[in-house]
Amino acid sequence: MFKRQDNATAHIDTLIGRSARVQGDIEFAGGLHVDGCVTGNVRVVAGGTASLSVSEHGVIDGTVEAPQVVLNGTVNGDIVARDRVVLGAKARVRGNVSYGVIEMALGAEITGRLIPASPEAEASAPTAA
């Protein structure tokens, strides 16, 4: 009846390595994996579909906006994921988490609010003709 998505086969187009430090906002499409440190906002290119994964060594100091987020590291800022958020055991979030579906492992920490995406807001959003 319920089938769990396998995140192990996620496609990665862009990798920020463990020793890399990026200052500034990042806009991406496809898959982005952060193993290093990003100081700035991370978001999907307008109209794009994408997924973001952050390893246990990865740190993002800024807001994250992506349809799917898999977090094992740290985000110091809000997370907005309209589809799915997966928080691993070593995940640390210092900010609010807005989500469609959320999965949390034992040990994950959120210092902020959990905000479920409301189906009413999506239904009342204007659609392009």
Cβ neighbours of residue 66 under 8 Å, at least 6 residues apart? 32, 42, 43, 44, 50, 51, 52, 80, 81
| pLDDT for residue 128 | 47
In a domain, 40, yes or no: yes
Q: Is residue 2 one of the residues assigned to a domain? A: no
| Token duo for residue 44 | 């999907």
Domain annotation covers residue 69: yes
User: In this predicted structure, what is the pLDDT of residue 124?
Assistant: 45
Tally the domains of the chain.
Answer: 1
Give the model's pLDDT for residue 9.
45
Does residue 3 belong to any structural domain of this protein?
A: no
Residue 120: its pLDDT value, please?
A: 54
pLDDT tens, position by position, 27-61: 999 999 999 999 999 999 877 679 999 999 999 99
Mean pLDDT per segment of 10 residues, for the chain of length 129 residues?
A: 49 92 95 97 86 97 96 98 96 97 97 85 47
Residue 22 lies in a domain: yes
The answer to whether position 126 is within a domain reads no
Q: Are 36 and 52 in contact (CB under 8 A)?
A: no
Give the structural domain span for 95. Answer: 9-113
pTM of the model: 0.83
Q: Which two tokens stand for residue 30?
A: 């496809």
Quick one: pLDDT at residue 5?
52
